[in-house]
Structure 1
C-alpha cells in the first residue's frame, strides 16, 4: 500500500466542488480524454512538462535547462533563443529542466507527495472549513486510478472531522470504488452523453461502465451530485437531455442531491499548447447569450420532470442547502 500519490495541483479556498470553502486535491491520470477537457495536464498518469515560451529568460542568457538536460536536442529554441517546445521522441521525462528553470517557463505538472504532505496543507485551512461548512475534495483526472492514496487521505480527513468529497468519473471496476465510499461524505460525477457510441467518440471510452456504477451508487445512501457539461454540437440536444432525465428518474430513482448544468467554457488552451497538443475544441463557435438562455431552459425542463437542477456553478454553496 502506497503512502504517495501523483498530484498535479492543490487548490485552496475553492467554492465550486462541494459545499463551503474547500481545499481541492487534483490527482494525475484519467481513463477519459474528453475533447472539451480544460485540464489536459490531468490526463496522463506520469509527471510531464509544460513549456511557456513567453516566460523563458532566453537560452543564451540563462540556459540552465540546456545544461542539465541529459538528452541533446531535447529542448527546442526559436529565433529569439527562447525554449518553445520539447521533442518527446528524445525526452526521457527526467524533469531536470523543469527543476532547473528559474522562471517557471518549464512547468512540471505532477509531483509525488505523501499523505502526510497533503494533510499538512489541508490542516492549514481547518478554521475555514469549520466556519463555512466546507472541507476537502479529491478530484483529478481520476482519483480512483490512485485508489489507496485517495482512500488514505479521505480516511484521515474523516478521522479529523473534516468533510470529504470525491469527484470521480466512476469509469472503473466496482472493486476500486467500494473501498473508498465509507470515507466520502459527498460524491460528484458527470453524465456526459447517454449514447455509448457518442460517448466513445467524444471521451475515448464507452459510458456503459459509468452508467452501471451510477445506478449502483444511487442505492448506496450517499449524497450524490450529477453534472452535465453541456457542450454545443456534442451533447446539447433534446434527445440527450431527455435520455439523461429518463436515466436519473428510472434507473437511479432520482436518488441524487441535485443535477448541475455546466455550460462549455474555452479553458485550457494555453495548457494544450504548452504540452505540444492541439486544442480539440478550437473550431467550436456559438452564441454565448443564446446558449446561456438555453441552459436555463434545460434547467426548467429537468425541474418540471421532478429533478432538482441548477444551471452553472452559482449553486455550489448557497443552493446546496436541502429543500
Structure 2
C-alpha cells in the first residue's frame, strides 16, 4: 500500500534544523499545545482551511467559495469579505480553498505520497552533497505519522540522503523505533523540567518525553536539544539547573549541541486565520534585556561543559 502523509509546508534550502542545506517537511498533527507555538496550523492531523480576509476579492465580485461550499452558513462574511469559518459546521472538504482565486482561503495540509515527496527532495541532491545537508521532518510532531516517516526516511537512505527527525518525543517508544533505523540525527525540545508546569504550558506532562530522550541516549543517538526560552515560564535558574543536571546525568554525553531559542511573537496571523485565540499577546518584554538574560543562560550551560549556543546554529 502506498504510504501517504499530511504535510502543511515544505521548505527548501533551509539551514535551521540540521547541518548544511536541507529540505524540511512539516507534518500535520501535534499532541502538545504550547502556549507560545508559532505553527497552530500543525495542531490537527486533518487538513484545514485558513481565512485571510485582506486577500478576499469580495462576496459580491467573486463569491466562488460560497458556490462550492456544501454546508449552510459555514462561511462567514463581514462587510462583504470572508472573515471566518464556522469550525463546528465545516466538513473540511476544502472545496472553498480550491475555488478561491485569491488565496483568501488557504489549505493547511495536503496528502502526499512518499514518491511525491522524493521527487521534490531529489531536486536538491546536489546541495546536500556539497553542504553536508539532507532532509528534516518536523511538525507538529512527525511521530504522529510514524509509518509515513519510516517509509520516507527509508527512501532517503536508499538514495544516500542524510535524515533528521525533529520531534517532541511525546510518543510511544514503538513509534520511535519505526523511524530510528533510518534516522541520522535527532532534534528535540526540553521545554520545562517540572512536569506540572510542563503540563500547564504545553497541555501534557513531560515524563514520556524525558524517558524517550533517555532511551535515545542509551541507543547511542546523537541529539540536538533546544530550549524555547519563554519569559516567566521556564527562564528561571531552578529550571535551567535541573535541565543541565538532566543532560549531564541522564543523557551520557549524547547532546552535541544545546540551542536556546529566544521567545518571539510569531504566527499571530495564522491563529486568526484558524479562529484560535493567541495566548501570548499579553507578554511584554525588553528585547535587549531579555537577550542579555538568554546569553547569561547560555554561559551557564557552557560553564557546566554543555555545548550551548543561542539560536539554531549547530556549531560555532
Aligned mates of 1:98, 1:17 — CA distance in 2: 30
Name the TM-score, length of structure 1 as normaliser. Answer: 0.96
- CA deviations 1:42-62 (Å, max 9, x no partner) are 011010111000000101001
In structure 1, runs of 5+ residues without a counterpart are none
Q: Give aligned pairs, total.
A: 316
**TM alignment of 1:12-31, pairs within 5 A:** 12-31=12-31
Aligned mates of 1:150, 1:312 — CA distance in 2: 26
Cα offset for 1:2? Answer: 5.2
Aligned mates of 1:134, 1:252 — CA distance in 2: 25
- CA deviations 1:146-176 (Å, max 9, x no partner) are 1110011111111101111000111111111
RMSD: 0.9
Equivalent position of 1:64 in the other structure: 64
- CA deviations 1:3-38 (Å, max 9, x no partner) are 101000101010000001000000000010100000
Aligned mates of 1:20, 1:78 — CA distance in 2: 46
Aligned mates of 1:182, 1:92 — CA distance in 2: 38
Name the TM-score, length of structure 2 as normaliser. Answer: 0.98
Equivalent position of 1:101 in the other structure: 100
Aligned mates of 1:151, 1:90 — CA distance in 2: 35
- CA deviations 1:53-102 (Å, max 9, x no partner) are 000010100100000001121111111x1101001122111111011001
Aligned mates of 2:51, 2:85 — CA distance in 1: 8
Cα offset for 1:216? Answer: 1.1
Match of 1:23, SS state, is strand
Equivalent position of 1:149 in the other structure: 148
Equivalent position of 2:285 in the other structure: 286
Contact 1:170 1:210 in 2 (8 A): yes
Aligned mates of 1:64, 1:125 — CA distance in 2: 37
Aligned mates of 2:215, 2:114 — CA distance in 1: 29
In structure 2, runs of 5+ residues without a counterpart are none
Contact 1:2 1:148 in 2 (8 A): no
Aligned mates of 2:281, 2:2 — CA distance in 1: 39
- CA deviations 1:264-283 (Å, max 9, x no partner) are 11110000000001101010
Poorly superposed stretches of 4+, deviation over 4 Å: none
Aligned mates of 1:216, 1:93 — CA distance in 2: 38
Contact 1:262 1:312 in 2 (8 A): yes
Contact 1:295 1:311 in 2 (8 A): yes
Cα offset for 1:253? Answer: 2.1
Match of 1:146, SS state, is helix
Cα offset for 1:127? Answer: 0.8
Query: Are residue 242 (structure 1) and residue 241 (structure 2) matched?
Result: yes
Aligned mates of 2:111, 2:63 — CA distance in 1: 26
Aligned mates of 1:226, 1:198 — CA distance in 2: 19
Equivalent position of 1:6 in the other structure: 6
Aligned mates of 2:5, 2:148 — CA distance in 1: 6
Match of 1:257, SS state, is strand
Query: Are residue 216 (structure 1) and residue 211 (structure 2) matched?
Result: no
Query: Are residue 130 (structure 1) and residue 126 (structure 2) matched?
Result: no
Match of 2:136, SS state, is strand
